[in-house]
Structure 1
Amino acid sequence: MTELHRLGREAYIDPVWHEREVDQLFLNAWCFAGITSDFKEAGDYKAVEIGGFPIAVVRNKDGDLGAVHNVCRHRGATLFDGNGGNIGKSIVCPYHRWTYGLAGELRGVPDKQTCFPDLERSKLGLKPAGLGIFKGLVFVNPDPNANFDDWIAPIADQAWPHDLYASDVREAVPLVYDVKCNWKVFAENAIDGYHLAYLHEQTLGGPTPDKNVWEQAGDHMIWYANEEGVRHRLPKKIRDENGKIGTIKSAQQAGFGGVYFLFPLTLVVPTPYGLSITALKPTSASTTRLTIRHWVGPWQSLDERKYIQGFDKKTGIISSDNWTRHPLETGDFQTEDVWICEKVQQGLQSPAFELGPLSLGPGAEDPIRWFHRSILSRLQVSD
């Protein structure tokens, strides 16, 4: 019997449900924050946000990486501005100039004897967050006690595309999208093998559902497509360990997948000669920010933004608010995905929406069932 969606309409539109996810899912969720070479000097940092938790990764004076909640312990002001940079030799709150060391310890409080004679600085350091490193990729978690090894273990022994530090790929200008849909709508689209031959007929061109293969790796998933002659992002030629180029018939034959979904907020997508990593930032029950860092071959453009419909030069954000052509006329599969995700969100907002069936094919929508189970297992709601 065909199975319905496990998550109801409220999971995609209800602010109360969103707050439940913040409290019960994102409070212990790993998400991509950067790569180790982002942090060359003491004071170098990257700032991210996971479901409402602002977090910063910073290299301290001893050369170690650490993660802290980007919240002053006095009145709550955020301390790290922008997405990254170098904060200097100490972390200073702009509000009342409380000063912290690069490891988060509270070092100075102006007029302490007058204003806070009994304050114990040792108890008011920045709250730590969890940090883990895998193949040069840096991940953070709001929970300082979260076990990174357990989270990454199911993927650790899987074949992995591209060594960012041993190849000739270069990092391109990051892409930032503001998408008018719930984060789960975008995640489900990313792991949906049913739509590739239909929505993306003129761009990716497939594969059809029967050519999709999804493999489970704990809560994570790896997608392969086993079909020649398909215009998709999977490598048809890759370099072997000696640098020679060999022809392959499928991503599975190549030894690594075409999409790695690291539950719940990170997507890793290989290209023939590069890699992109997308961090999902749920910003409300019906909006999501996508930050995409990508690495390309030396012959490829380092700044694709001018070619992407909806890019605003003033803000640096790509949004459907700025579209001037129909998305299906752009020849860009990402624009097509944003378009369909926003259309799904519009439909979910309708009181007429009812749960529909999910396809039975394991390479089509079965990963969505899997995704729903993983979410429900963490939320205190009935399945």
Structure 2
Amino acid sequence: MGISTQLMDDVKECARAEAERRTYPPQFPALPPVPGGRYFDPAFAKLEADRVFSRSWLFVAHADQLRNIGDYVLLDQLDKPIMLIRGADNAVRAFCNTCRHRGAALVEEPQGNVGRRLTCPFHAWTYSLDGKLVGYPEAMNFSDLDRESHGLAEIRCESWGPLIFINLDVKARPLAAFLGSVGEDLSDFAELDGRLHLVDRTVREVGVNWKLPVDANLESYHVNYVHRTSAARTLQQSGTGIQLLPNGHSRMLVLYRDTIDGKALSPFPCVFPNLGDLPYCGTFSYHVFPNLSIVFAGTGLVFLITNWPTGPSTSVYNVHWCSSLAVDQEENRKLSDKVIAALSQVLFEDLDVLPGEQRSLNAGTLESLRLGYQERRIYYLHEAIDRAIGFEQVPETLRVPQLLASFVQE
């Protein structure tokens, strides 16, 4: 599997053709204004929480965060108290961090190891690592308590190689079906558990709606201005090729300038051979609906950006930095730190400019967003959000017309 040679050529040709384009594409519709209320309205934020984040597959952790049996990680990205835990069978599962007796939290620290069992600190109800209730004190005080029906509440959890996803919707289709062509293109991920290492993680609170940082990852129009002393020195912003994919996902290649040697920028051993030379041609990335950006810096370094709503106008920005080189050696650590520092500068330049946009939205001085052709991935995200919510459930004043279906590449 992986990207075919023909598709690789098509992706590169799309970016090259964009660099030569001088007029608006005649076959593409003018994008309607996107209502500003979608970025601050509390009722709309609740619709997103209930219909988007509660029903989508969400990337939440890297397997290296819980490598040993009994390791756990608390997830703070969602309103529900959820933990990941590695079982005796080496599988990673997700459970509500809630004792089935009286609701006490089973673990309090952000991550750690519970040993062979989970024991509630309140009344010592005890659970196996796969969530079964295995014991509780003074059993004679409970009449006919059915242990099988009092196991921990399990959340759907699937792994894509080292990447761990959860979904709060018990009826959701499998992760592979949700990923669709993204999973096919990036099939190397499935074989990378233990080979693609988590080398660093960035977490930053930002005073903006969750979509604003996502939007910044979906377009390159700002590169020559926000990143004029950083990324613009290596990227040819006009050479931005975009493909809209099923299920709200998308793909983007921003070409390097002709003088840039992509391999020299990221000297990490290759673990994504099925991508060919695409990651060396420029910044190559995918958006996975709703909030995940997978960005390649060569074929041996990839970073995964997620942004999580904490309120209508606030969010938490997460980056998982992953490398083919483990950082147990000082030389590898120094190389990773150097590259991550340069890339972080670019990411933080985006975050620094976004609060001004949020203030304008909150104040009503920006009533709507006017998007251009190179920002169509943002509009496509809004379309997908409305489809996930249910078009008729979105207030009429906040809806976006569904226009881009015919431009999606199957």
Preserved contact between residue 22 and residue 52 of structure 1 (Cα < 8 Å)? no
Which digits, 9 at most, give the CA deviation of each residue in 1:76-112, with x for residues without a partner? 3333334432122111222333222111122233334
**Percent identity of equivalent pairs:** 23
1:132 counterpart residue number: 158
- Sort the Cα spacing of 1:95 and 1:374 in 2 relative to 1 into closer, same or farther, 3 A: same
SS in 1 for 2:176: helix
Q: 1:99 to 1:241 in 2, by over 3 A?
A: closer
Change in 2 beyond 3 A, CA 1:372/1:209: farther
Letter in 1 for 2:379: R
TM-score calculated relative to the size of structure 2: 0.74
Are the counterparts in 1 of residues 73 and 111 from structure 2 also a CA contact under 8 Å?
yes
- Name the one with the larger helix percent: 2
Q: Contact 1:275–1:294 (CA<8 Å) still a contact in 2?
A: yes
Cα shift at 1:236? 6.2
- C-alpha root-mean-square deviation of aligned residues, in Å? 3.5
Unaligned runs of 5+ residues in structure 2 are 1-28, 326-330, 400-410
Q: Which amino acid aligns with 2:385?
A: I
Alpha-carbon displacement from aligned partner over 1:32-73 (angstroms, at most 9, x marks no partner)? 233334444321223224432332222222333322222333
Partner AA of 1:260 in structure 2: Y
8 Å contact from structure 2 (residues 303, 321) kept in 1: yes
Aligned length: 351
Aligned-partner Cα distance in 2 for 1:234–1:260: 20
**Could you tell me which amino acid in structure 2 is paired with residue 121 of structure 1?**
R
Does 1:43 find its partner at 2:70? yes
Which residue of 2 is the match for residue 301 of structure 1?
A: 334
The separation in 1 between residues aligned to 2:52 and 2:72, in whole angstroms, is 25
Aligned runs of 1:340-359 on 2, under 5 Å? 340-359=353-372
The 5-angstrom pairing of residues 72-221 of structure 1 reads: 72-114=99-141, 116-147=142-173, 148-159=175-186, 164=192, 171-205=198-232, 207=235, 210-218=238-246, 219-221=248-250
The CA deviation at 1:290 is 2.0
Give the TM-score, by structure 1 length. 0.79
Q: Cα distance 1:351–1:195, how it changes in 2: closer, same or farther (>3 A)? A: same
State yes or no: 1:365 paired with 2:378. no
Change (3 A) 1:217 1:75: farther
Counterpart of 2:12 in structure 1 is none
Q: Secondary structure at the match of 1:91?
A: strand
Q: Which residue of 1 aligns with 2:45?
A: 18
Determine helix, strand or coil for the equivalent of 1:172.
Answer: strand
Tell me what 1:313 maps to. Answer: none
Q: Write the letter of the residue equivalent to 2:123.
A: H
CA distance in 2, matches of 1:377, 1:40: 37
* 2:293 pairs with one of 267, 271, 274: 267
The match for 2:10 is none
- Compute the displacement of 1:225 (Å): 1.2
